[in-house]
């Protein structure tokens, strides 16, 4: 197998990281708030993780979803874990808008219109990182439900 793109240092902005996983901002030109939750360890499938670690991944994914919903008020959030090209546990968290390039189709499909791109400035990225961090830390707190 070729070197795994998720096993090396990420070229993306890291919004949050611990020794288990990281949240990166892909800052895609058409989807500027597109995030990915990446497991640090090279594990291929969610069911290869112990149940407590599966829950930890999903708490992180849901915290990122919440942060994106609160900050950007998207029409929909898409969650995806494919791994066909990169067999390493990771989740895509993609805020979708009715006027985005592909809506209502998958963002990996054919475009149905020109996109309405709004680039994230540094202040917005910093605010997103703070919100993601707060929500993840709360979700992972052992006293949280």
**CATH code of 26's domain:** 3.30.428.10
Q: What is the mean pLDDT of residues 63-75?
A: 96
Which residues, in sequence order, are bridge partners of residue 79?
Answer: 93
107 has pLDDT over 80: yes
In a domain, 44, yes or no: yes
How far, in Å, CA of 63 to CA of 58, rounded? 8
Number of separate domains in the chain: 1
User: According to the model, what pLDDT value does residue 110 have?
Assistant: 87
Domain that holds residue 36: 13-140
In a domain, 145, yes or no: no
Structure confidence at residue 25 as a pLDDT band (50, 70, 90): very high
Question: For the chain, what percent of residues have pLDDT higher than 90?
Answer: 72
Q: Render the burial of 90-112: b for 16+ CB within 10 Å, e for the rest.
A: bbbbbbbbeebbbbeeebeeeee
């Amino acid at each position: 197998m070729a070197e795994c793109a998720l096993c090396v240092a990420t070229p993306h902005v890291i919004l949050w990281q611990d020794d288990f996983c990281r949240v990166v901002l892909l800052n895609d030109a058409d989807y500027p708030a597109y995030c990915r939750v990446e497991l640090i360890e090279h594990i291929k499938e969610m069911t290869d993780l112990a149940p407590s670690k599966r829950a930890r991944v999903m708490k992180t994914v849901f915290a990122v979803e919440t942060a994106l919903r609160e900050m950007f008020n998207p029409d929909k959030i898409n969650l995806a874990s494919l791994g066909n090209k990169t067999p390493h546990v990771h989740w895509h968290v993609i805020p979708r808008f009715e006027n985005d390039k592909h809506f209502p189709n998958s963002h990996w499909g054919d475009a149905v219109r020109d996109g309405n791109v709004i680039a994230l400035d540094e202040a917005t990225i910093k605010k997103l990182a703070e919100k993601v961090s707060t929500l993840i830390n709360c979700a992972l707190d052992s006293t949280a439900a």
